[in-house]
Structure 1
Amino acid sequence: MSVASFTVAVMPPAKALPPVPSGVQGTLDDLGTPLADVTFVVVDLETTGGSARDSAITEIGAVKVRGGVELGEFGTLVDPGAPIPPFITALTGITQQMVYAAPRIAEVLPAFLEFARGCVLVAHNAPFDIGFLKAACAERERPWPGFPVVDTVDLARRVLTRDEVPNCKLETLARHFRAATTPNHRALDDARATVDVLHGLIERLGSFGVTSLEELRGFAKAPTPEQRGKRHLADDVPSAPGVYLFEDARGEVLYVGKSGDLRSRVRSYFTGSETRWRAREMVGLAERVRPIVCATGLEAEVRELRLIAAHKPRYNRRSKFPERVVWLKLTVEPFPRLSIVRERRPDGAAYLGPLGSRRQAEEARAALHEAVPLRQCTQRLTLALVERGKAQTCALADLGRCGAPCTGHETPERYAGHAAAVRSVFAGDVRPVAAAATARIDRLAVELRYEEAAAQRDRLAAFVRAASRAQRLGALAGCAQLVAARPAPGGGWEVSVVRHGRLAAAGTVPRGAHPRPYVDALIATAETVLPELGAGPDAIPAGAESGGAGAEEMECVLRWLDGPGARLVELDGVWTCPVHGAERLRARIDRAYAPVEPSAPRPRRPLR
């Protein structure tokens, strides 16, 4: 850290001046603090993840500037008190060894706050960096100083056009403004690059008449002319819970959202509180807002998912493609193997899923292979090929990781025992996988092969989470009808009718009214839902696009059922998780990945 010295000139007391006439026009300096006199502290953080709730700071870099002149720098690594994920190390280059001797955030935070005292904080994507700093203060019961904050992302989105830059990433803006430092995901270098980006943006803001700090902070927050000109679109939107759809002149759905108060939420799109660049662009294209009033918050959440999946609006980023899930499949052939597929079919095969990504499916498959020696080759192995000796062999047989059915060393009857073990795991008994993974982790830890043990732990975690999700969804989808109630926010009850995992009806019971007539009416008018893939716990509908319930919808229903005060009214089916299922291991896995508490004692390096 470099320290800059400051000289304060003390002026002699001046004589009393006559009052300024009220008709005299003030100068530009009277409108706010000139930018040339503002001291900015440009800050950047490197962290172990994207959320301040479950991640920690690994590096802080800051540069103090005023009037285009650098006054000082602040840079230090920070011990996060928890393991740094491998992908973070690959991105930033910060390893566990680099932060082992670094100070904790409790030691760094006071020094940084003193360095930035009385200044304006600047960051690229400020909510991320400032959010981590605020969380660090809150964890240590230290009041946040309330710095004025400037976000270079917001400024760039208002000042630059898509013709000038394709996006507002720091690397793109640094290249556009010819920054002297290239961003490289290290805190101090990124802060130096942000300084050059800030100066370039301030230079561009001069053409907009922005000369003071107050104008600078208000520039990105002010509503655009398109926002101001379309406030009338919210006039007919009711103040009720539900879903809203922004549509263009041709009727194409641009965006789908939900809210507990439709009118208030829609009106916020036409004010300065809406600072998202994509949302402002969407408002410029919108010609109408179509509200859909819903009886309960669960109905609004489910309707939002269904509408996004049906229309795939260009300005919605999540839930647009619910069909993009994967399944882990035990193939139907003489020597079955585990395959990752995009679709579940009624072909008699055993499936585990749906899984959110192919990477999770690959990790879960690797955990299963540790427990059951299924073949891992992709060839279609038939009895005729084995008898004629035409099947291809692989190195796994030599390593003892496969029984080599391709060479005839393992009979079809013995191999069928492995396939039966996998079907048992898919059905709900995950003990063999957990036992095999735990034994391997313990052996690797004894041999001080900690990175391999961590990789094995990640595989087990991926399998447990995938199996837990599949078992919860499968149990809900297997119920022909489930009727539940939960206390409504304003009194009374919210009632939901769920059939094979799909929300078939939703309504409310007024305060003081007898619930039975309302429940009977909901059941009588509920949507008819049929299982698509058989019956029982395996009857997971293929997805909302084909009339069933998607995985996201079923997870919404499960969250609602897990809410406070939820009561089961009627049940047609068996709603339960397997005794030896993955749900019992989920808490252990979550604890293993929980961040270390800041107050936990720091482990000492063993003497050698």
Structure 2
Amino acid sequence: MKAAPADRSAGLEWMRMPEAETRVLHRLRVREGDTGLGDPGGWNVGVVVDVETTGLSATDDVIIELAMRRFRWDDAGRITSIGQRYSWLEDPCRPLDPKIVRLTGLDEAMLAGQEIDEHAARSILASATVTIAHNASFDRPRVESRLELSGGPWACSCSEIDWAEAGFDGRSLGYLLSQIGFYNGAHRASDDVDSTIALLASEVSPGRTALAELVERSFSDSWIVRAKGAAFELKDVLKARGYRWDVDRKVWWMEVFDRTPEEWWLAANVYGKRQNLP
């Protein structure tokens, strides 16, 4: 007599989530024009910038796509209007790494003969009260080098907003976007610009937008702390703390607004005697 077949669905119970425990993500659409929010008399101008490059090195790699978009905000940090999208491709005059092609969807045929409109890009940036990028330490030096610019206030929506304190997990752009109920397209500069604007408009606490926090913190004094000489084995500890790897300087770094606690943390967890034992 054959045994009854095992109930193979039992182990798949986790796949049948109740509807209340699911999350629906909507395709992000950032529309041009007035948002209907805040004080329309607010004339602060923000420009969100993102680049795609041939690689990660600031000295050897070049921009292949530059995107930016202006918006206005009021004194309470509410976005009142959003401008048109600007995006330019540029021929790097070199073969593309297949990893970059897979990541961005850009290939050599699409970039052939393309060039950034330098005059238009400079004019847009010159109109900004502040220029914002989700990873300003990556975007800023590349944009300023390519457009031969220097100075002007920049802010970083990745490092200068306390996403964890606001109840978010992680700091990557796509993951943060999903936590406010949206997803975006392929890894292209214009999509990343729109994702950043959507995050800036979201609330990090009741009645307070991420943009309000970013503006407040970006105009405050801050410090760049670099964990020079940190042992390789401590990379996970540093990442968990919020440090990021600087490819060009070959060092872990983090921006802080009070350096004393961070100096104590480094002394105890990175440079302490126990950490340096063989």
TM class, shorter-length: 0.5 to 0.7
Amino acid at match of 1:62: M
Alpha-carbon distance, 1:73 to partner: 1.9
| Residue number in structure 2 paired with 1:117 | 126
What SS class does the counterpart of residue 61 from structure 1 fall into? Answer: strand
Contact 1:269-1:283 at 8 Å conserved across structures: no
**Separation of aligned partners in 1, 2:213 and 2:172:** 25
Q: 1:75 Cα shift?
A: 0.9
1:200 pairs with one of 199, 202, 208: 202
> Is the alpha carbon distance of 1:204 and 1:36 closer, same or farther for their aligned partners in structure 2, counting shifts above 3 Å?
farther
2:200 partner SS: helix
Deviations 1:458-490 (A, max 9, x none): xxxxxxxxxxxxxxxxxxxxxxxxxxxxxxxxx
> RMSD between aligned alpha carbons?
4.3
The one of 42, 47, 51 aligned to 1:41: 47
2-structure distance, mates of 1:62, 1:71: 10
In structure 2, what is the equivalent of residue 91 of structure 1? 103
Q: Does 1:71 align with 2:83?
A: yes
In 2, the alpha carbon distance for the partners of 1:151 and 1:127 equals: 8
Q: CA deviation at 1:63?
A: 1.2
1:151 aligns with 2:156: yes
Give aligned-pair identity as a percent: 23
Residue 68 of structure 2 contacts residue 193 of structure 2 at CA under 8 Å; is this kept in 1? yes
The alpha-carbon distance between structure 1 residues 87 and 64, as it changes in their structure 2 partners (threshold 3 A), is same
Change in Cα spacing, 1:209 to 1:43, as seen in structure 2 (3 Å) is closer
The CA deviation at 1:102 is 1.2
Alignment partner of 1:174 is 2:183 = no
Structure-2 change in CA distance of 1:291 and 1:208 (3 Å) = farther
**Equivalences for 1:215-254 in 2 at 5 Å?**
215-218=216-219, 221=222
Question: Partner of 1:116: helix, strand, or coil?
Answer: helix
- How far apart, CA to CA, are the structure 2 residues paired with 1:163 and 1:214? 19
Q: 2:141 maps to what in 1?
A: 131
Superposed, which structure 2 residues align to 1:331-350 within 5 Å?
Answer: none
Q: CA deviation at 1:189?
A: 1.0
Aligned to 1:111, the other structure's residue is in SS state helix
Q: Is the CA contact (8 Å cut-off) linking 2:50 and 2:66 kept in structure 1?
A: yes
Corresponding letter in the other structure for 1:193: S
Q: Could you report, residue by residue, the CA deviation over 1:355-381 in whole angstroms, capped at 9, with x for unpaired residues?
A: xxxxxxxxxxxxxxxxxxxxxxxxxxx
Aligned-partner residue type, residue 66 of structure 2: I
Q: Which amino acid aligns with 2:114?
A: A
- When residues 38 and 82 of structure 1 are mapped into structure 2, their CA distance, relative to the original with a 3 A threshold, is same
Equivalent residue runs for 1:45-444 within 5 Å:
45-67=51-73, 68=79, 69-103=81-115, 105=116, 108-119=117-128, 120-137=130-147, 142=148, 144-156=149-161, 158-161=162-165, 164-165=168-169, 167-179=170-182, 182-200=184-202, 204=205, 215-218=216-219, 221=222, 272=257, 283=265, 286=268, 290=272, 307=276, 310=278
Change (3 A) 1:101 1:219: same
Looking at secondary structure, tell me which structure has more strand per residue.
Answer: 2
Q: Secondary structure at the match of 1:55?
A: coil
Deviation at 1:38, TM superposition (A): 1.7
* Code of the aligned partner of 1:164: F
| Rg larger for | 1
Task: Name the SS for the 1:198 alignment partner.
Answer: helix
Find the aligned partners of 1:185 and 1:60 in 2 and give their Cα distance: 13
Q: Offset at 1:49?
A: 0.3
Name the CA distance, whole Å, in 1 between partners of 2:266 and 2:230.
Answer: 17
AA paired with 1:130? R
Letter in 1 for 2:168: E
Residue 121 of structure 1 and its aligned partner are, at CA, apart by 0.8
Unmatched tracts of structure 1, length 5 or more = 6-34, 228-241, 246-253, 256-267, 293-303, 311-608
Report how far residue 272 of structure 1 moved. Answer: 3.0
State whether residues 64 and 72 of structure 1, in contact with CA within 8 Å, keep that contact through their aligned partners in structure 2.
yes
Aligned partners of 2:221 and 2:202: how far apart in 1?
A: 15
Partner of 2:186, secondary structure, is coil
**Closer, same or farther in 2 for the Cα pair 1:55/1:211, shift >3 Å?**
closer
Shift of 1:176: 1.3
Distance change >3 Å, CA 147–CA 182, structure 1 → 2: same
SS of structure 1 residue aligned to 2:51: strand
Is this contact kept in 1: 2:230–2:270, CA < 8 A? no
In 2, Cα distance between equivalents of 1:96 and 1:121: 29
Question: How far is 1:123 from its partner?
Answer: 0.5
Deviation digits for residues 102-139 of structure 1 (CA, Å, limit 9, x no counterpart): 12x4xx233211122130111111111111112224xx
How far apart, in 2, do the equivalents of 1:135 and 1:162 lie?
A: 34
Alpha-carbon distance between aligned partners in 1 of 2:214 and 2:168, rounded to the nearest angstrom: 25
Change in CA separation of 1:63 and 1:214 when aligned onto 2, cut-off 3 Å? closer
SS at match of 1:197: helix
More helix by share: 1
Corresponding letter in the other structure for 2:127 = G
Residues 116, 209 of structure 1: alpha-carbon distance in 2 compared, 3 angstrom cutoff:
closer
**Counterpart amino acid of residue 175 in structure 2:** T
- Residue equivalent to 1:460: none
Deviation at 1:88, TM superposition (A): 0.4
Distance 1:282 1:198, change over 3 A: farther
Amino acid at match of 2:101: T
Distance of aligned partners of 1:60 and 1:204 in 2 relative to their CA distance in 1, 3 Å threshold: farther
**TM-score, normalised to structure 1's length?**
0.30
The alignment of Structure 1 onto Structure 2 pairs a total of residues equal to 211
Does structure 1 retain, via aligned residues, the 8 Å contact 2:168–2:176? Answer: no
* CA 1:281–1:149: 2 relative to 1, 3 Å: same
Deviation of 1:221 after TM superposition, in Å, equals 3.3
What is aligned with 2:246?
Answer: none
User: Do the aligned residues in 1 keep the contact of 2:51 with 2:67 (CA within 8 Å)?
Assistant: yes
8 A Cα contact 1:154 1:220, kept in partner: no
Structure 2 letter corresponding to 1:99: L
**Contact in 2 for aligned 1:61/1:75 (Cα 8 Å):** yes
